[in-house]
């Protein structure tokens, strides 16, 4: 294991305290800091130190893929790190978005690469982007469609006549979801502000108070965006620290507020439908969306050893473990597949494998090669370990 230096992305929705405090820098930061990236995605690869200068992971892996990645990972995923580890710090809501599956990503990337007249790209790489986020503070998110009949009751309660076709579609259950979402996202531009205003002016029962509060918050930022109403069709989830949300391909979602460790397949393909000043492509989003009810997006941790938990997910691009060491548990040993990245969120721990050891304090990270063997963690602290998942 050796020190790894991540990259911070300064999107407008980011916090000015979370990442600065994690890395023991002055608080508040000069501007919003949204994501800390740890990985080898070409968009912002992390770096190692080589001869006193930074060396990015993409170049390091290209020089010696067998040693860094291992034959199994190269066979399954090619000469690239298949996962990306992040710390997310949303102070304001992210866009309504979904990610493509593997086939859609390959086809979309190929089509856009050969289009000479394209001005905005949806597909920046040919890979899918399933993701899981583990809350490290109370975290709120919109995750997947809830039961359409509950959504119909809510929209009906607003008493806005223009919404009658949407309510009728939702009364049809899952089969009506495509029509309801399409109608809202393609609402005539000149009528959007009036529609949102009519919804906010309505008086509804106490049972809908949470949804009204959400709509008011989103409309305060995007007063003419029908995404405010689409958001009301999704599960509104509040996570306690340690709980996770799993977002498979095609599920509409938006993270709202909190701090979390996110692990995902190494892709940056995002299809946006609203609640953002960034590029929105409703047509492509509707094409990749899975119109299904995501009944329970929350994943609870599963203990796999003293002080060690994981969150099972149905993909093999990544696996995530948390090691929490204190006075009762002072060491842990993990057999991990392929390359691995360690991130210390609190305390001070030593991470070691067959290639060496590194002392990590709060906010610091390390990476190990595939040929490093098992990882041993000692000390007192809170450590997240990302690795490649088991073949499926």
pLDDT, tens digit (0-9, with 9 covering 90-100), for 224-262 = 999 999 999 999 999 999 999 999 999 999 999 999 999
Choosing from 76, 192, 272, 369, the catalytic residue is 272
The residues pairing with 54 across neighbouring beta strands, listed in sequence order, are 49
**Residues 104, 42, 117, 97, Cα dihedral to 10°:** 50
Q: pLDDT band for 115, please (50, 70, 90 cuts).
A: confident
Other Cβ atoms within 10 Å of 135 Cβ, number: 23
**What percent of the chain stands above pLDDT 90?**
93
Q: What is the pLDDT of residues 34-71, one digit of tens each?
A: 999 999 999 999 999 988 899 999 999 999 999 999 99
Sheet of strand 139-145: strand arrangement:
234-239, 139-145, 253-257, 96-98, 271-274
Three-state DSSP state, 246: strand
Question: For position 300, what pLDDT does the model report?
Answer: 94
For the chain, domains (ranges, CATH) are 2-142+238-276+294-299 (2.60.120.10), 145-233 (no CATH), 303-388 (2.60.120.10)
DSSP string covering 13-35: TBBSSHHHHHTT--SS-SS-B-E
Average pLDDT value for residue range 328-357: 95
Catalytic site includes residue 333? no
Q: pLDDT band for 88, please (50, 70, 90 cuts).
A: very high
Checking if the pLDDT of 118 tops 90, the result is no
Give the angle 130-187-236 at the CA atoms, nearest 5°. 40
How far apart CA 149 and CA 147 sit, in angstroms, is 5
Checking if the pLDDT of 116 tops 90, the result is no
Average pLDDT value for residue range 133-155: 97
Question: For position 117, what pLDDT does the model report?
Answer: 81
Checking if the pLDDT of 221 tops 90, the result is yes
Q: Which two tokens stand for residue 326?
A: 């204190």
Question: For position 337, what pLDDT does the model report?
Answer: 86
List CB contacts of 339: < 8 A, sequence separation 6 or more.
68, 69, 70, 73, 81, 367, 368, 369, 370, 387, 388
How far apart CA 278 and CA 388 sit, in angstroms, is 32
Look at 116 and 306; give whichever has higher pLDDT: 306
Checking if the pLDDT of 22 tops 90, the result is yes
Place of tokens 């998942």: 389
Average pLDDT value for residue range 165-182: 97
How far apart CA 41 and CA 239 sit, in angstroms, is 28
Question: For position 392, what pLDDT does the model report?
Answer: 81
Question: For position 119, what pLDDT does the model report?
Answer: 83
Please give the mean pLDDT across all residues of the chain.
Answer: 96
Q: Which two tokens stand for residue 378?
A: 């000692």
Q: What is the pLDDT of residues 288-302, one digit of tens each?
A: 999 999 988 999 999
Residue 23 φ then ψ, to 5°: -95, 15
362-to-66, 68, 115, 202, 340 alpha-carbon distances in Å: 31, 25, 45, 48, 18
Q: Which two tokens stand for residue 124?
A: 């920046």
Is the distance from CB of 299 to CB of 338 less than 8 angstroms? no
């Amino acid at each position: 294991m050796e020190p790894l230096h991540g990259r911070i992305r300064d999107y407008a929705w980011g916090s000015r305290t979370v990442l600065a405090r994690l890395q023991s820098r002055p608080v508040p930061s000069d501007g919003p800091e949204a994501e800390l990236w740890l990985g080898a995605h070409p968009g912002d690869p992390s770096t190692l130190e080589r001869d006193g200068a930074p060396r990015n992971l993409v170049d390091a892996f290209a020089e010696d893929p067998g040693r860094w990645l291992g034959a199994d990972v190269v066979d399954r995923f090619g000469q690239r790190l298949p996962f990306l580890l992040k710390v997310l710090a949303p102070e304001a809501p992210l866009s309504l978005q979904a990610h493509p599956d593997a086939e859609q990503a390959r086809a979309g990337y190929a089509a856009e690469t050969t289009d000479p007249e394209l001005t905005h790209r949806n597909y920046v790489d040919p890979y899918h982007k399933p993701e899981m986020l583990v809350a490290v503070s109370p975290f709120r998110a919109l995750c997947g469609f809830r039961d359409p009949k509950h959504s119909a009751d809510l929209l009906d309660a607003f008493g806005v006549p223009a919404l009658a076709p949407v309510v009728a579609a939702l009364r049809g259950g899952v089969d009506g979801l495509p029509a309801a979402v399409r109608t809202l996202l393609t609402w005539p531009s000149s009528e959007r502000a009036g529609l949102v205003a009519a919804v906010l002016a309505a008086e509804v029962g106490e049972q809908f108070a949470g949804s009204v509060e959400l709509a008011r918050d989103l409309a305060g930022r995007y007063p003419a965006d029908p995404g405010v109403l689409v958001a009301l069709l999704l599960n509104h989830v509040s996570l306690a620290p340690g709980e996770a949300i799993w977002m498979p391909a095609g599920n509409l979602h938006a993270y709202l507020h909190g701090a979390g460790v996110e692990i995902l397949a190494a892709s940056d393909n995002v299809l946006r439908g609203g609640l953002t000043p960034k590029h929105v492509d409703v047509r492509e989003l509707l094409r990749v969306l899975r119109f299904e009810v995501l009944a329970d997006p929350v994943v609870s941790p599963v203990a796999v050893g003293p002080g060690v938990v994981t969150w099972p997910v149905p993909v093999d691009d990544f696996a995530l473990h948390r090691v929490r060491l204190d006075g009762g548990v002072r060491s842990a040993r993990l057999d991990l597949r392929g390359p691995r990245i360690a991130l210390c969120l609190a305390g001070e721990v030593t991470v070691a494998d067959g290639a060496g050891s590194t002392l990590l304090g709060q906010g610091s990270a390390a990476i190990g090669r595939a040929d490093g063997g098992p990882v041993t963690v000692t000390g007192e602290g809170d450590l997240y370990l990302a690795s490649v998942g088991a073949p499926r």
